[in-house]
């Protein structure tokens, strides 16, 4: 069975000052991660990322930080699809104020956390790497 290719996109969301951001994490039940989902036919990565953010959290207003894009690729085995090679592209964006989160059915909880706590909470090493890159980007004042 050939390896199936999948592409997803998401947003590393933060609130507050870029100097002291709090990052949004979602509890998927067995792991903590960022809002993300499949890129649909006809969508570019950023359009998909914003759509998924709104579907998963209810957040429709976000200012995307120009110049930040983090891609990761990993493999996993799916019961029906077999081996899947998945690429996920993340953008970085700031939300105004303290937005109310309206979780989709695929999540158990959501929480904004300061960088160090978010780094401890997020589950997978590649997700930790994305958060480190986002924080370094903000620290450089690259917005």
- pLDDT tens digits for range 103-133: 998 899 999 999 999 999 999 999 999 999 9
What fold, for 4-139?
Nucleoside Triphosphate Pyrophosphohydrolase (3.90.79)
Calculate mean pLDDT across residues 22-48.
96
**pLDDT band with cut points at 50, 70 and 90 for residue 3:** confident
Calculate mean pLDDT across residues 38-47.
97
Nearest CA-CA partner of 103 in 43, 67, 58, 61: 58
HSE-up of residue 98 (Cα within 13 Å, Cβ side): 3
Query: Residues 128, 28, 120, 125: is their CA dihedral positive or negative?
Result: negative
The strand ranges marked E within 2-81 are 4-15, 22-27, 32-33, 36-38, 63-64, 70-78
CB burial of 55-74 (b: ≥16 within 10 Å; e: otherwise) equals ebbebeebeebeebbbebee
Specify the length of the chain in residues.
143
C-beta separation of 8 from 38 below 8 A: yes
**pLDDT band with cut points at 50, 70 and 90 for residue 2:** confident
Bridge partners, 82 (sequence order): 78
Indicate the domain borders of the chain.
4-139
Q: Which residues contact 81 (CB under 8 A, 6 or more apart)?
A: 4
Residue 81: what pLDDT? Answer: 87
Residue 105: what pLDDT? Answer: 87
Alpha-helical runs (H) found in 19-66: 45-57
């Amino acid at each position: 069975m050939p390896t199936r290719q999948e592409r997803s996109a998401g947003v590393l969301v933060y609130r507050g000052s870029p100097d002291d951001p709090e990052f949004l994490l979602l509890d998927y039940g067995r792991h903590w991660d960022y809002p993300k989902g499949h890129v649909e036919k006809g969508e570019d990565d950023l359009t998909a990322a914003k759509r998924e953010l709104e579907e998963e959290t209810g957040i429709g207003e976000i200012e995307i930080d120009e110049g930040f894009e983090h891609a990761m690729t990993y493999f996993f085995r799916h019961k029906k699809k077999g081996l899947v090679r998945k690429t996920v592209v993340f953008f970085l964006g700031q939300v105004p104020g303290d937005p109310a989160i309206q979780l989709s059915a695929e999540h158990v909880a959501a929480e904004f956390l300061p960088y160090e706590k978010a780094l401890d909470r997020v589950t997978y090493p590649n997700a930790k790497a994305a958060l480190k890159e986002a924080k370094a980007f903000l620290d450089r004042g690259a917005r």
